[in-house]
Chains A and B, each alone.
With several copies, the nearest count.
Chain A
Amino acid sequence: MRITLNGDPYELGEPMTISRLLARLDIDPRRVAVEHNLVVVKRAAFASTTVRADDTVEIVNFVGGGQESAP
């Protein structure tokens, strides 16, 4: 099964929680925020939110930036 992860197709294998997805991606959950099908998921809900086929997931963090960037 596939999902859209950060804009790209991603092969997930089977449904899993956001916590497991982050673990598989080796991402520290305390440093990121996750949007699941356009809804922000609170960190506390990572373990109870399941990503399924065709879902859209965004995982973001902070990067250097001062004022708006030109596309």
Chain B
Amino acid sequence: MAMGNDALVIAGKSFSSRLIVGTGKYASNEIMQRAHDASGAELVTVAVRRVNLSDRGRGSLLDFIDTGRYSLLPNTAGCYTADEAVRTARLGREVGLSEWVKLEVIGDERTLFPDNDGLLEATRVLVKEGFVVLPYTNDDPVVCRKLEDAGAAAVMPLGAPIGSGLGIQNLNNIRIIREFAGVPVIVDAGVGTASDAAVAMELGVDGVLMNTAIAGARDPVAMADAMKLAVAAGRGAHLAGRIARRRYAAASSPADGLLSA
């Protein structure tokens, strides 16, 4: 089928799904597990946190993620400086035994917008240490180019603020970023519902990363399925080549042979 040989390739690694999902905010690990299954995702991002020494109750997150099926993408969620992010990335590598990192350096705790300076600095350090760096950034073409120049394996501009569910706010910027970038472009954050993911893919981006839109839905498993379909639909439409827009009317039935003729 059409999507078959249309793989997403990041740092030489190939994925048949263009949807990347998170592991936060689920009512239970069981629901998360079923949502991951429904999403068809192959790459799953996880946070790095101190082991809770007082309460060791709930089992490890990894008991609910089949690492044979899903590749783990440790993230530096919650880091506000390049140093913190670098330390967190290094620890994540030890836990997951993987060089991949979803790099986040947050610049504002209210909007969770990235701090692009810190992000760039941390990217340089981690790339030198052999990491495959996927930075979460603003939808700024200049910053994306600098991240690419610094060795980022992909750039992940936000579509709208984390958890806002507003959908892609600046279609023009995302399109420009995709047009100029030499690495995969993944829209990270802002998707609220299926059509938002389709819109992003139709712009030509290489993938979409989301967490809240699925985990926060009334039925996360059904939404995960819808997102899987929407990402494939948007990608398919992008490749199929949509019709041109016109202000009005183009017949889709022949004009001759009418009774009235």
Task: Note whether A and B form a binding pair.
Answer: yes
Binding site for B on A (CB under 8 A): 5-7, 25-28, 31-35, 38, 40-43, 58-71
Q: Is the CB of B62 within 8 A of A66?
A: no
Q: Give the residues in chain B near A31, CB-CB below 8 Å.
A: 60, 62, 95
Q: Does B77 contact A (CB under 8 A)?
A: yes
Chain A nearest Cβ from B154, distance in angstroms? 16
Q: Give the residues in chain B near A25, CB-CB below 8 Å.
A: 51, 53
Q: Is the CB of A62 within 8 A of B96?
A: yes
Q: How far is the CA of A60 from the CA of B91 in the complex (A)?
A: 7
Chain B nearest Cβ from A44, distance in angstroms? 11
Q: Is the CB of B25 within 8 A of A62?
A: no
Chain B nearest Cβ from A68, distance in angstroms? 4
Q: How far is the CA of A62 from the CA of B211 in the complex (A)?
A: 16
Q: Give the residues in chain B near A6, CB-CB below 8 Å.
A: 50-51, 53
Q: Mark B93-132, 1 if CB is under 8 A from A, else 0.
A: 1111000000010100110100000000000000000000
Q: Is the CB of A64 within 8 A of B47?
A: yes
Q: How far is the CA of A41 from the CA of B87 in the complex (A)?
A: 12
Q: Is the CB of A65 within 8 A of B75?
A: yes
Q: Is the CB of B95 within 8 A of A60?
A: yes
Task: Among B23, B26, B72, B251, point to the contact of A69 (Cβ < 8 A).
Answer: B251
Q: Does B220 contact A (CB under 8 A)?
A: no
State whether A60 and B51 are in contact (beta carbons under 8 Å apart), knowing that A31-B62, A40-B90 are contacts in the complex. yes
Chain A nearest Cβ from B187, distance in angstroms? 12
Chain A nearest Cβ from B45, distance in angstroms? 6
Q: Mark B22-52, 1 if CB is under 8 A from A, else 0.
A: 1111100100100000000000011111110
Q: Is the CB of A66 within 8 A of B106?
A: no
Q: How far is the CA of A9 from the CA of B76 in the complex (A)?
A: 25
Residue of A43, A69, A71 contacting most chain B CB atoms (<10 Å): A69
Q: Is the CB of B94 within 8 A of A62?
A: no
How many residues of B are in contact with the other chain, CB < 8 A?
A: 63
- What would be 12 A-B contacts, judged by CB atoms less than 8 Å apart? A58-B259, A61-B49, A61-B95, A63-B48, A64-B29, A65-B78, A66-B215, A66-B252, A67-B112, A69-B24, A69-B78, A70-B109
Kindly list 5 other residue pairs between chains A and B, CB separation below 8 angstroms, not including A31-B60, A64-B254.
A59-B53, A62-B74, A67-B189, A68-B78, A69-B258
Residue of A27, A40, A62 contacting most chain B CB atoms (<10 Å): A62
Q: Is the CB of A66 within 8 A of B23?
A: yes
Q: Is the CB of B95 within 8 A of A68?
A: no
Chain A nearest Cβ from B243, distance in angstroms? 13
Task: Among A34, A42, A65, point to the contact of B77 (Cβ < 8 A).
Answer: A65
Q: How far is the CA of A41 from the CA of B136 in the complex (A)?
A: 27
Task: Among A32, A67, A69, point to the contact of B255 (Cβ < 8 A).
Answer: A69
